[in-house]
Chains A and B, each alone.
Chain A
Amino acid sequence: MTGFYGLIGEFRTSGEAAAVARELHEAGFARWDVYGPAPLEDIERATPTRRGIVITAIMFAAAIVGACWGYFLQYWDAVIDFPINVGGRPLNGWPGFIPSAWEICALFTVYCGFFAFLATCRLPRLHQPIFAAPNFERATQDRFFVCVEAADARYDAVRLREIFARHDAVATSEVPA
């Protein structure tokens, strides 16, 4: 429909950005996000998301699976597939299976966590439309940006410009698609 990605405002402080975010949220905007050089509480509080829970849950599941698989692998070898008398120990020497099982558990957890994180952020994606926004490179250094996507149902350039200006945005511009 519209020829551009969205409207973006640039702010000096996280406070301003957070305020904007809060207002957008209350106004019921859905497709917007705040961009900044660090994870800062005020912004975080202002932007609702459930990713944390999702990723943590995935990692927890991964931990369980990893531990079970780790133990089963050893049990399968020692008891079922290749049972042999080693130093007179019982075939299922479970205390000896725990260390490896734990390490495998840790491996699963960390890797699943990593990939879950990438998935939730839709990364890797080397070029993002938002990069086209003027001055956006400072989003990873010292500036804060709030961008509302044109795809948002409530999208209204005029109203948004007004909101940005109210929280003394340094600049407001349209992001080409």
Chain B
Amino acid sequence: MPERAAELGYDGPVIGPEQDFSSVSATLSDLVLERPTPRWWYVGAGISAAGLILFVIACVWTFVGGVGVWGVNIPVAWGFALANYVWWIGIASGGTFISSLFYLIGSDWRNGVNRTAETMTLFAAAAAGMMPILHLGRQGLFYWLFPYSTVMGVWPQFLSPLLWDFFALLCYILNSIVFWYIGLVPDCATLRDRATKRWQQIFYGILALGWRGSARDWHGYKATYLVMAGIMAPMVVSVHSIVGLDFAAGLIGGWHSTQWPPYFFIGALYSGWAVVLALMIPLRRFYSLERIVTERHLDVIAKLMLATGLMLAYCYLLEAMEPFYTGDPTKVTEYLGSVFGHYGATFWARNTLNIFVPQLLWLPLVRRNKIALELISIGIVAGMWIERYNFVVSALAQDYMPSKWGWFGGTFWDWAILIGSAGMAMFGFFAFIRLLPVVSMFEIREIIHKRRGSEASKGNRA
């Protein structure tokens, strides 16, 4: 097929015109059912597994040694863990947003990428979920945040942004699992029915829950999915806004500001798009899905990324304006400190990676160059982490009490947790692409049907 990719432009259709139900079912199912595991998979999964192992070791070490093994201190009592948390949850949000919001507004390009996006969401959210627990002084007691009266009949304190956060994260992860799974059921049925090996039939049979594809079932299915999408979209917004509130509701000069919820959410989408691109580009290449995840997809997401980047730039400007507008010396010092001071490097790194470099996306030339696109996306993912780090640390390092100013530096274990969590998420993703269809088949069939009327559905008899 690659030689025919030419006729399929960036402004072309979101699906190869020659694609029909059978070809889609065949291509996507065979990736997991028939195709022998490719070498690149072993390489990727191996590296991720190494990261996963590092993560496990780092966690155990943190549990045994206590959070003292990290660089955290007084005043900077929150360090990497919180930056990681915000970063991961942001990435997750991006995924859910693609699949929910663009489902609601019925843009068909979404169907090519939502499965990847949701899966990424799942593992990112899992990584995010680890952080708040790891960073506790007494990790074993994290369950005291659950809403029941624990020791001495004490309840959690519901006014704490951390508790909002706890609810947001918990509900979000649980909902994402269902949202992801329900989208998977019909495809599992397809796999079940195409499976030739016994274990596959059992495995996918169970996952498919006995799905028949009856029209009435489909009806209920679409209704459920629609409402779920309608809930998930605002939920994503709320989740990341609450993460923003963790800081905005605080009293710290650099944190106490109403702009963080939108600021954080926009950043979240930004990193979300970036990760989807960074994953899709190699994936469609290695799995040769160019006819199903077309260059149109890449183009759309690239443009989205550019737009979001501009919104983020606006947030950065607001961030710069606010301290001087309020004239609060604490805010001013903190901001100048984060720009030129001890953490200045991170500030400029974030601007370069998140704002300056992505401006290249104005040029179609760049948008069409997959290497460039990949690099820019990865740059943005890194840039977003740096932004969170700079945000969390520099505000704490220089707040109201000059006498208690102090700097933070990550220790080996801080880095191990960060890199390890990435390993964990990637490993999950690699497992997914070997076991489940990377693109939602039934939703692709819908598009084909839409495009070519009912004739489309005529399968070429095999």
Contacts and interface: CB of A to CB of B under 8 A. Distances in A.
Are chains A and B touching in the complex at the 8 Å CB cutoff? yes
Given A77-B155, A99-B167, A110 B213 contact: no
B11 interface: no
A99 B212 contact: no
Contacts of A136: 193
Which size class do B's interface residues fall under? 35 or more
A141 B155 CA distance: 52
A47 B238 contact: no
B211 interface: yes
Interface in A120-150: 120-121, 123-128, 130-131, 136-144
Nearest to B21: A142
Nearest to A12: B458
A140 B231 contact: no
B224 A107 contact: no
Contact of A118 (B153, B209, B212, B223): B209
Contact of B459 (A12, A43, A82, A120): A12
A113 B224 contact: yes
B355 to A, nearest CB: 30
Contacts of A55: 220, 223-224, 227
A78 B158 contact: yes
Nearest to B192: A140
Given A38-B446, A39-B222, A142-B457, A49 B20 contact: no
Given A37-B190, A102-B238, A137-B193, A51 B159 contact: no
A109 B221 CA distance: 15
B158 A128 contact: no
Given A73-B147, A96-B158, A117-B182, A139 B245 contact: no
Contacts of A96: 158-159, 164
A165 interface: no
A104 interface: yes
B224 A13 contact: no
A114 B175 CA distance: 10
B431 interface: no
B455 interface: yes
Given A51-B216, A103-B167, A142-B25, A86 B194 contact: no
Given A56-B227, A99-B168, A51 B215 contact: no
B82 to A, nearest CB: 18
Which size class do A's interface residues fall under? 35 or more
Contacts of A166: none
Contacts of A162: none
A116 interface: yes
Interface in B441-462: 441-443, 445-446, 449, 454-455, 457-459
Nearest to A35: B213
B158 A97 contact: yes
A74 interface: yes
B171 interface: yes
A12 B461 CA distance: 10
A123 B270 CA distance: 38
A40 B232 contact: no
Please provide the 7 A-B residue pairs with the shortest distance between their CB atoms, ordered closest to farther: A137-B193, A142-B459, A52-B223, A15-B454, A142-B21, A51-B220, A124-B209
Interface of B: 20-22, 25, 147, 149, 153-159, 163-164, 167-168, 170-172, 174-175, 178-179, 182, 186, 189-190, 192-194, 205-206, 209-224, 227-228, 231-232, 234-235, 238-239, 242, 245, 441-443, 445-446, 449, 454-455, 457-459
Interface of A: 12-15, 18, 21, 33-40, 42-44, 46-47, 49, 51-56, 59, 63, 73-74, 77-78, 81-82, 86-87, 89, 93, 96-97, 99-100, 102-104, 106-107, 109-111, 113-114, 116-118, 120-121, 123-128, 130-131, 136-144
16 contacts: A14-B449, A39-B215, A74-B158, A77-B147, A78-B158, A93-B159, A99-B164, A102-B238, A104-B171, A110-B228, A120-B217, A126-B205, A136-B193, A137-B194, A141-B193, A141-B194
Given A99-B245, A142-B457, 20 more contacts: A15-B455, A35-B214, A35-B215, A37-B21, A37-B186, A39-B222, A43-B218, A44-B219, A49-B220, A74-B147, A77-B147, A103-B170, A110-B175, A110-B179, A113-B224, A114-B182, A121-B217, A125-B210, A131-B212, A142-B25
